[in-house]
Chains A and B, each alone.
Chain A
Amino acid sequence: MSAIQPKVGEPPVSDELKLVQAAKAGDVGAFEELVRRYDRNVFRIAQHITQNREDAEDVVQDAFLKAYGNLNQFQGQSKFYTWLVRIAVNEALMKLRRRRPERMVSLDEDVKTEEDSLPREVADWSPNPEQQYSQAELRDILTRTIQGLPASFRTVFVLRDVEGLSTEETAEALDLSIPAVKSRLLRARLQLRERLSRYFQKRESADGRPKHESGDANQ
């Protein structure tokens, strides 16, 4: 089995540094180019964390404005994107805490769940599981499934596997150690896999519906 292929198409870092330097010198157009480059990523990350569209819109604005206001503190040791993600994750977590004050939301949350044990559901999946569902159904399944993960697992998975940050960049953006990132990533991947198996496993029934139709992926 081959390893996962990394995402391609990242713009060169030197070009990005020039934009940052121009923005620091007062060129708002250069900063606008940085916004164009990363607004989609910031929006996705924010919505994955906050699980709320309006909050995600606010996070995009607040994160870029905070980055602009603090550009002088960006020293260039890390990529601008990693620095920006760090700001955006913090803004998103603040929104989440505001909406759910009853729950402590922290990236330090190292949740032990029953699902940490060995996988229980080892039935193989259909060859093209995503094609069993319409795009809207698939999106709904994927959204509900990932929303069921603790925020700390969800965030690591999104940065590493959806946005394609390296383990080191994820650790830097979330202020976590590399072993903590790896441990959360493994558990997030296994839990998502386990939950998706309810929908994607090979099945005997002819009606094309999962056996656990009423099962709540968020439990």
Chain B
Amino acid sequence: MKCAEFLQELTNYLDGVIDDRTKAELEDHLAWCHNCYVVCDTTKKTIEIYRDSQLYELPDDLRTRLRTAIVSKCQAKKKTGPERV
């Protein structure tokens, strides 16, 4: 397996959606290709860092304000009947 072929399968490999035979070929490649090992490992870290980063958390006060506005508009819609879109 070449590095380009490895990269094509990287997403399936990281997501664990890959058949056993391809997985074995990829892991064989990882065992001797240091560059692909590093790319694979740091791509996995990239995903984990973003997933755990809590970027753009909705602050509680804003959350309450938005929900109150949404609910009151829903109540108003309910009185006036369904929206025609």
Contact A36 B67 (CB under 8 A): yes
Q: Pick from B41, B67, B85: contact of A70, CB below 8 A.
A: B85
Q: Are A56 and B15 CB-contacts (below 8 A) given A26-B78, A28-B71, A192-B46?
A: no
Interface residues of B in 1-44 (CB under 8 A from A): 3-4, 7-8, 10-17, 27, 30, 35, 37-44
Q: Are A68 and B4 CB-contacts (below 8 A) given A39-B66, A43-B58, A193-B46?
A: no
Contact B50 A142 (CB under 8 A): yes
| Smallest CB gap from A70: residue in B | B85
Residues in chain B near residue A185, CB distance under 8 A: 11
Contact B7 A57 (CB under 8 A): no
Contact B74 A68 (CB under 8 A): yes
Residues in chain B near residue A64, CB distance under 8 A: 70
Q: Pick from A28, A39, A48: contact of B58, CB below 8 A.
A: A39
Contact B3 A39 (CB under 8 A): no
Q: What are 17 contact pairs spanning A and B, CB under 8 A?
A: A1-B37, A3-B13, A3-B16, A4-B14, A31-B74, A43-B56, A57-B66, A64-B70, A68-B77, A70-B85, A123-B38, A125-B42, A129-B49, A139-B53, A161-B51, A182-B12, A192-B50
**Chain B proximity of A142: nearest CB distance (Å):** 5
Residues in chain B near residue A28, CB distance under 8 A: 71, 74-75, 78
Residues in chain A near residue B39, CB distance under 8 A: 119, 122, 190, 193
**Chain B proximity of A188: nearest CB distance (Å):** 10
| Smallest CB gap from B12: residue in A | A182
Q: How many residues of A contact B (CB 8 A)?
A: 55
How many pairs of A and B residues are in contact by the CB < 8 Å rule? 142
Contact A69 B85 (CB under 8 A): yes
Q: Pick from B3, B16, B51: contact of A162, CB below 8 A.
A: B51
- Main secondary structure on B side of the interface with A: helix
Q: How many residues of B contact A (CB 8 A)?
A: 50
**Chain A proximity of B33: nearest CB distance (Å):** 10
**Chain B proximity of A184: nearest CB distance (Å):** 10
The answer to whether A212 has its CB under 8 Å from any CB of chain B is: no
The answer to whether A61 has its CB under 8 Å from any CB of chain B is: yes
Q: Pick from A43, A118, A190: contact of B3, CB below 8 A.
A: A118
**Chain B proximity of A163: nearest CB distance (Å):** 9
Residues in chain A near residue B83, CB distance under 8 A: 69-70
Contact A32 B71 (CB under 8 A): yes
Alpha-carbon gap, A32 to B46, bound state (A): 34
Contact A4 B15 (CB under 8 A): yes
Residues in chain A near residue B30, CB distance under 8 A: 1
